[in-house]
Each structure stands twice: as C-alpha cells, then as structure tokens.
Amino acid sequence: MLSRSAARLLTTQTRAFSTTSTRQTKVAVLGAGGGIGQPLSLLLKIDPLVSSLSLYDIRGAPGVAADVSHIDTDSTVKGYTADQLDDALDGAKVVVIPAGVPRKPGMTRDDLFNTNASIVRDLAASVGRVAPEAHILVISNPVNSTVPIVAKTLEKAGVFDPRRLFGVTSLDVVRAARFLGEVSGNDPKNTVIPVVGGHSGATIVPLLSQNAYGKSISGETYSKLVHRIQFGGDEVVKAKDGAGSATLSMAYAGAKFANAILRGLNGEKGVITPTFVKSELFADQGVDFFSSNVELGKNGVEKIYPVGPLSAEEQKLLEACLPDLKKNIEKGYAFVA
Ligand SMILES: NC(=O)C1=CN([C@@H]2O[C@H](COP(=O)(O)OP(=O)(O)OC[C@H]3O[C@@H](n4cnc5c(N)ncnc54)[C@H](O)[C@@H]3O)[C@@H](O)[C@H]2O)C=CC1
Ligand SMILES: O=C([O-])CC(=O)C(=O)O
C-alpha cells in the first residue's frame, strides 16, 4: 500500500496534469525501456490527456508496458518489440523520443552524436512515413543537433511541418526554477524563468532578469547560478559515476512538456513554455533553431515569442550561445545531407 505522502504525491501529480477537456490522444514513447523512458511512461500513464500509450524500444518495452498497464488510470498501454515500430507509431498524435545513449563522466553531449544521430534519423524516418502528422518531442542528445536531423529527415520525406517538431529543453527550465528558488529562498513556483538558446553548456541561456527574485541576484552568486543552470547535467553525470545522466528529473520535465503539448492540442489557450523549435529569431545569423517561449495550440507551435529584455550579462551569454548553436545545427544538417 502507498504511504500517505506517496498517495498525496500521485494525486498532486495527476491534478497537475489534469484539464477540463476529455482525453483522446495516443502517445508513443520511442526508447521506453531506458532510464528516461521508464519513468516517463509511468508519468504519461497518469496524465489524464493520454488515452493510449504506445511503448517502443529495441529491448524491454513489453515488460515496461505490462508493468505500467496495471496503474488504475483509464488509458490503455501496449509494448512493442524491435520489429514492431510501425505498429507502435500507427495513429500516434504525439511521439516522444528518448532513445539513444547517455553521457558518461568526461563526455560532452556532442560526443553522443556519432551514436545517437543515426538512431534519431532512422526513428524520424519511420515517424514521417507512418505518422506524418504527429507532434515529435526530441529528448535524445545532443538536442542542438538531433532536432535539425529530424527536421531534415522529414523534409527529405516531404512531410516536415516546423509547427510540430520540438526539442525538449524543459529540464533546463525546471532546474533554473529550482536553483533560483534555492538561492533566493523561495518556492520554485515563484522563480520560474525562461531559459533560451539550446541545450548544452554555453548555449543554455537563463534569463534571470525576467523574474523579480532573479533580477536581484548579482556578482559571484549570479555567475555561480548561471553556471549551475548551464552545467546542471554534468552534476548528475558526475554523481551517477558512469551509470548515465539525468533520468528521473528528465522524465518529470518531459512529462510536463508533453502535458503542455497535449493541452495545446486540446484547444487550451495560453499554454506558453520554452522549447527548441525552427525559429526566425536569429535565422539572419544562421541559427535556424532556437529555444524561446512558444505558445502551444491545436497545430503545435502557434506563436514564437522574442527573448524579451536582456541585462548586459544576458546579452553576453546570448552572444556566446549563438556561434556554438550554429555549429551544432549545421553538424546535424550535414549528417542528413
Ligand atoms: N533533452 C534533455 O534534457 C535530456 C536528454 N537526455 C538524453 O536522453 C537519451 C536517453 O537517455 P537515457 O534514457 O538515460 O539512456 P538509456 O541508455 O537508459 O536508455 C536509452 C534507451 O534507448 C533505447 N534505444 C536505443 N536505440 C534505439 C532505437 N533505435 N529505437 C528505440 N530505442 C532505442 C535503448 O534500448 C535504451 O532502452 C540520451 O541521449 C541522453 O543524453 C538525457 C537527459 C536530459
Ligand atoms: O547531461 C546530460 O548528458 C543529460 C542532459 O542533457 C541533462 O541532464 O541536461
């Protein structure tokens, strides 16, 4: 039996995901057997907006599906083996991709490119063929390159719609709220800030000046906080000591973002969150993809917001972000070309 605190947590989590609309959506998770895939599947099972959960992996997905399927929410769950990808994708409205290898200490996200680029490209090709209208949420690293890889792959297949492709950067937003909350002594719900740019090191640009508590942080405290947000992933990789990178906080952040996508699809207005999308904001500098606040709706991306007012420090962070991001995006494009 669940302890009272665990039961309360689950109730709160379910409530955090709920909305007045009815659920109607098939969601597929590609990489569902992994460190992120398993807890993400659990959280999607308790999201009231998911009607059917399709769990695919090259190993282990039927087991995860059998386990998660016993949870007493009203959605169905099915697991698929390596040769059943098309069945897993059939009819999916949302496809979340956490497939691929994670970092070990000493590696950068870009070091994952050689392995993950082809995994993501091949999965994207299948999504383009079987579920061309699906909203695709890319978690696999390096996000700055894997998202352009998916875009080019879909473009080649003639089915790319930039409104339906998202790099998941919500863990940076979750970390920023948590870390600013810690430094300023506040509940993270009051310290939410936009994190813009990309998803690795210097390309992660937290806009602390856009929060009342963040605005007052300066000096060494500011530099340390920015560094912690930019390199939060390294903290986890180091602590896991060879056993992988963030999985539980990522599953939480991924489920939160998937819920935002589903609320938008259901017609809810005012669903706004940062995500890495095809964007005109810095396209004149050769940066075709950029994360900034995006309004989500029935068609996916409804509106891309500009970064807003920046402090002098944030302007410098942005200047450092753009050239790196451009290189990462071009590397992704070149892989598919
Ligand atoms: N966007 C973000 O903020 C974050 C991204 N990540 C990234 O997410 C990815 C997954 O991380 P973990 O779950 O910890 O790794 P993991 O190794 O625990 O799980 C990956 C899963 O992908 C599966 N897989 C491999 N090739 C596949 C294919 N072709 N089709 C379907 N499934 C396949 C594996 O069998 C495995 O179950 C990594 O690239 C990691 O860097 C991790 C944390 C945060
Ligand atoms: O650090 C990693 O490799 C995984 C990741 O993207 C994160 O935790 O932000």
Q: Residue 317 has what pLDDT? A: 98
Whose C-alpha lies nearest to ligand 2, atom 9? 233
- The set of residues, in sequence order, having a beta carbon less than 8 Å from that of 31 and lying 6+ positions away, is 37, 56, 57, 97, 98, 99, 100, 139, 140
User: To test the ligand 2 pocket, which listed residue (108, 237, 238) has its Cβ within 8 A of the most ligand atoms?
Assistant: 237
Which of the two residues, 322 and 9, has the higher pLDDT score? 322
The helix (H) or strand (E) run that includes residue 256 is: helix 248-265
> pLDDT (tens digit, 9 = 90+) per residue, 153-179?
999 999 999 999 999 999 999 999 999
Rounded Cα–Cα distance for residues 44 and 40 (Å): 6
Q: Residue 46 has what pLDDT? A: 97
Q: Tell me the pLDDT band of 22, cut-offs 50, 70 and 90.
A: low
Nearest atom in ligand 1 to 141's CA: 39
Cβ neighbour number for residue 223 with a 10 Å cutoff: 12
Question: Helix 248-265 and helix 37-45: axis angle, to 10°?
Answer: 40
Q: Residue 299 has what pLDDT? A: 96
Q: Does the Cβ of 78 fall within 6 Å of ligand 2? A: no
DSSP conformation letters of 74-109: S-EEEEE-GGGHHHHHTT-SEEEE--SPPP-TT--G
Tokens of 243: 């056993």
Q: Residue 332 has what pLDDT? A: 98
pTM, to two decimals: 0.95
Classify residue 22 by its DSSP letter: P
Q: Mean pLDDT of all residues in the chain? A: 94
Ligand positioned closest to the Cα atom of 140: 1
Rounded Cα–Cα distance for residues 80 and 62 (Å): 6
Whose C-alpha lies nearest to ligand 1, atom 38? 102
80 phi, psi to nearest 5 deg: -130, 140
Q: Does the Cβ of 37 fall within 6 Å of ligand 1? A: yes
Q: Is 100 flagged in the annotation as binding?
A: no
Q: How far is the CA of 245 from the centre of ligand 2 (A)?
A: 6
Q: How far is the CA of 234 from the centre of ligand 2 (A)?
A: 7
The predicted model gives 9-15 an average pLDDT of 40
Counting Cα atoms < 13 Å in the Cβ hemisphere of 310 gives: 14
Classify residue 208 by its DSSP letter: G
Q: Does the Cβ of 140 fall within 6 Å of ligand 1? A: yes
CA dihedral 333, 159, 171, 42 (to 10 degrees): -130
The predicted model gives 78-104 an average pLDDT of 98
Ligand positioned closest to the Cα atom of 171: 1
Active site residue 70: no
The answer to whether the beta carbons of residues 160 and 148 sit under 8 Å apart is no
ipTM: 0.99
Closest by Cα among 85, 207, 197, 205 to 143: 197
Q: Is 116 flagged in the annotation as binding?
A: yes
Q: How far is the CA of 173 from the centre of ligand 2 (A)?
A: 13
Whose C-alpha lies nearest to ligand 1, atom 27? 99
Q: Tell me the pLDDT band of 245, cut-offs 50, 70 and 90.
A: very high
Q: How far is the CA of 308 from the centre of ligand 2 (A)?
A: 26
Nearest atom in ligand 1 to 169's CA: 3
Q: Residue 136 has what pLDDT? A: 98
The answer to whether the beta carbons of residues 276 and 282 sit under 8 Å apart is no
- Give Cα separations from 129 to 157, 175, 208 (angstroms): 8, 35, 41
Q: Does the Cβ of 103 fall within 6 Å of ligand 2? A: yes
- The set of residues, in sequence order, having a beta carbon less than 8 Å from that of 190 and lying 6+ positions away, is 181, 213
Q: How far is the CA of 20 from the centre of ligand 2 (A)?
A: 34
Rounded Cα–Cα distance for residues 161 and 155 (Å): 8
The predicted model gives 297-323 an average pLDDT of 98
The predicted model gives 194-218 an average pLDDT of 98
The answer to whether the beta carbons of residues 57 and 266 sit under 8 Å apart is no
Q: Does the Cβ of 233 fall within 6 Å of ligand 2? A: yes
- The set of residues, in sequence order, having a beta carbon less than 8 Å from that of 227 and lying 6+ positions away, is none
Q: What percent of the chain has pLDDT over 70?
A: 93
> pLDDT (tens digit, 9 = 90+) per residue, 46-63?
999 999 999 999 999 999
Q: Tell me the pLDDT band of 20, cut-offs 50, 70 and 90.
A: very low
Nearest atom in ligand 2 to 250's CA: 8
